[in-house]
Amino acid sequence: MTVDNQETRYKRNLELSNSHKPQNQPTEVVDLFKLKTILKKNLPWAILLIVSSLFVAFLYVRYTNVKFQSYAELKLNKRSEASVFGFNPLNEESSNLNTLSGEVELIRSKLFLKQVIAKLPLDVSYHVIGRFKNEERYKFTPFTVSYEESCAAYGQKFYIDIVDKENFKLSTNPDDDKWKSLKFGQSFTFNGCKYKLETTPHFFNTERLFFTISSPESLMSYVESNLSVAPENLNANTIKITFEDYNPYKVEAIVEQVSELYTEYSKEQKNRANQLKIEFLNKQLRQTESELSNYETYIEDFTIQNKTVNPSEDVNRLISEMVKMDSILYGVNYQLGEINNIQNQLEKDTLSFDQINYLVLPANMQPLFEEFSELKQEYQLSKTRYKKESQVLLQRKIEINALKDRINNYLSNKAEILQERKRTILNRKREIENRFNQLPAKTNELNQKMRFYSLYEELYLSLMQKKTEFEIAQAGTLSEVDILTPANLPKKPIGPSTNLIYIGSFAVGFILSFIFIGFRYLIYDEINSIHELERLTSIPIIAKISRLKKYVAKKSGVIVSEKPRSQISEAFRTLRTSLDFIGIKEGKKIISISSTTSGEGKTFVSVNLAAILAMSNKKVIILDLDMRKPRAQYAFNLEQNELGISSILSGGIHWKECINITKTDNLHFIPSGILPPNPAELLEGEYFDQLLNELKEEYDIILLDTPPIGLVSDGIIALKKSDHSLFVVRADYSKRSFIDDLHRSLNLNNIQNISIIFNAVRKENKGYGYYQDYYNDNNSKSISTLKRLFNI
pLDDT tens-digit profile of 569-589?
Answer: 888 888 888 888 777 777 788
| Predicted pLDDT at 791 | 45
Mean pLDDT for 601-618 is: 90
pLDDT band at 449 (very low <50, low <70, confident <90, very high): confident
| Confidence (pLDDT) at 435 | 64
Nearest CA among 74, 90, 71 for reference residue 82 = 90
Least confident window among 28-42, 450-464, 499-513, 529-543:
28-42
CB hemisphere CA count around 525 (13 angstroms) = 8
pLDDT at 86: 46
Three-state secondary structure call for residue 727: strand
Answer whether 428's CB lies under 8 Å from 297's CB: no
Is 671's pLDDT higher than 70?
yes
Average pLDDT, the chain: 80
What is the distance in angstroms between the CA of the first residue and the CA of the last residue of the chain?
29
Whole-number Å distance between alpha carbons of 224 and 217? 11
Query: How high is the pLDDT of residue 775?
Result: 40
For helices 313-348 and 391-437, the axis angle rounded to 10 degrees is 160
According to the model, what pLDDT value does residue 777 have?
A: 42
Answer whether the bond into residue 493 is a cis peptide, omega within 30°. Answer: no
Which strand (E) or helix (H) includes residue 742? helix 736-749
Q: Which residue type occupies 188?
A: F
**Model pLDDT for residues 538-555, shown as the tens digit of each residue:** 888 888 888 877 655 555
What are phi and psi for residue 665, nearest 5 degrees? -60, 145
Poorest-pLDDT segment among 71-80, 403-412, 451-460, 475-484: 475-484
CA distance 172 to 213: 13
Looking at this protein, which amino acid is placed at residue 232? Answer: E
440: exposed, middle or buried (Cβ count in 10 Å: 0-12, 13-18, 19+) = exposed
**Could you give the CA distance from residue 574 to residue 555 in angstroms, rounded to a whole number?**
24
Cβ atoms 745, 712 nearer than 8 A: no
CA distance 385 to 639: 139
Q: Which residues, 6 or more positions from 140, have their beta carbon under 8 angstroms from its beta carbon?
A: 202, 249
pLDDT digits (tens, 9 = 90+) for 59-107: 888 888 888 999 999 988 765 444 443 444 445 556 677 778 888 888 8
DSSP state of 488: -
* Measured distance CA(277)–CA(468) in Å, rounded: 11
pLDDT beyond 90 at 339: no
- pLDDT value, residue 628: 84
Predicted confidence (pLDDT) at residue 156 exceeds the cutoff of 80: yes
The model's pTM: 0.51
Give residue 474's pLDDT: 67
Strands 701-705 and 589-594: parallel
Strand order in the sheet with 68-78: 227-233, 238-245, 68-78, 479-485
426-440, 636-650, 692-706: least confident range: 426-440
Q: pLDDT tens for residues 96-149?
A: 777 788 888 888 999 889 999 999 999 999 999 887 788 898 988 999 999 998
Which span out of 149-163, 274-288, 728-742 was modeled with the highest average pLDDT? Answer: 149-163
> How far is 557 from 532, CA to CA, in rounded Å?
30
% of the chain with per-residue pLDDT over 70: 83
| Closest by CA position to 113, among listed 245, 262, 267, 310 | 262
In this structure, how many other beta carbons lie within 10 angstroms of the beta carbon of residue 106? 16
Average pLDDT over residues 472-490: 75
DSSP character string of 533-594:
HHHH--S-EEEEEEPPPHHHHHH-S-HHHH-TTSHHHHHHHHHHHHHHHHTTTSS-EEEEEE
Give ∠ CA 182-187-192 in degrees, rounded to 5: 105
Split at pLDDT 50, 70, 90, the class of 249 is very high
Residue 368 vs residue 153, higher pLDDT = 153
Kindly tell me if the per-residue pLDDT of 32 is higher than 80: no
Angstrom distance (rounded) from CA 65 to CA 86: 55
Domains of the chain: 3-19+528-764 (3.40.50.300), 32-64+496-523 (no CATH), 69-270 (no CATH), 313-439 (no CATH)
224: number of CA atoms within 13 Å, CB side?
A: 15
Percentage with pLDDT > 90 across the chain: 21
SS3 724: strand
Tell me the per-residue pLDDT of 3-27, one tens digit each, with 9 for 90 and over: 444 444 444 444 443 455 565 454 5
- Which of 108-122, 182-196, 279-293, 297-311 bottoms out in mean pLDDT, i.e. has the lowest? 297-311
Identify whether the C-beta of residue 82 lies closer than 8 Å to the C-beta of residue 529: no
Q: Dihedral of the CA atoms 547, 552, 555, 558 (nearest 10)?
A: -50
Smallest Cα–Cα separation from 143: which of 183, 190, 193, 188? 183
Weakest mean pLDDT among 277-291, 493-507, 695-709, 759-773: 759-773
β-strand pairing of 124-128 with 589-594:
unpaired
Long-range contacts of 99-105 (CB under 8 A, 24+ apart): 99/237, 100/76, 100/231, 100/234, 100/237, 100/239, 101/231, 103/76, 103/239, 103/266, 104/229, 104/230, 104/231, 104/239
Determine the distance from the C-alpha atom of residue 123 to the mean position of all C-alpha atoms in its chain, rounded to a whole number. 31
Return the DSSP state at 678. -
pLDDT interval class at 769 (50, 70, 90) = very low
The larger pLDDT score, comparing residue 132 to residue 656, is at 656
Is the pLDDT confidence value at 776 over 50? no
| 416 vs 379, more confident | 416
pLDDT at 7: 46
Q: Which residues contact 99 (CB under 8 A, 6 or more apart)?
A: 76, 78, 237
Which of the pair, 529 or 239, is modelled with greater confidence?
A: 239
Q: How many CB atoms lie within 10 A of CB 444?
A: 15
d(CA 731, CA 428): 141
DSSP label at 157?
Answer: E
Q: What is the pLDDT of residue 124?
A: 94
Kindly state the average pLDDT of the residues 319-326: 82
Instruction: Quickly state the pLDDT bin for 309 (edges 50, 70, 90).
Output: low
Condensed to tens digits (0 to 9), the pLDDT of residues 164-175 reads 989 999 998 888
Nearest-angstrom CA–CA distance, 487 and 73? 8
Bridge partners of residue 116, in order along the sequence: none
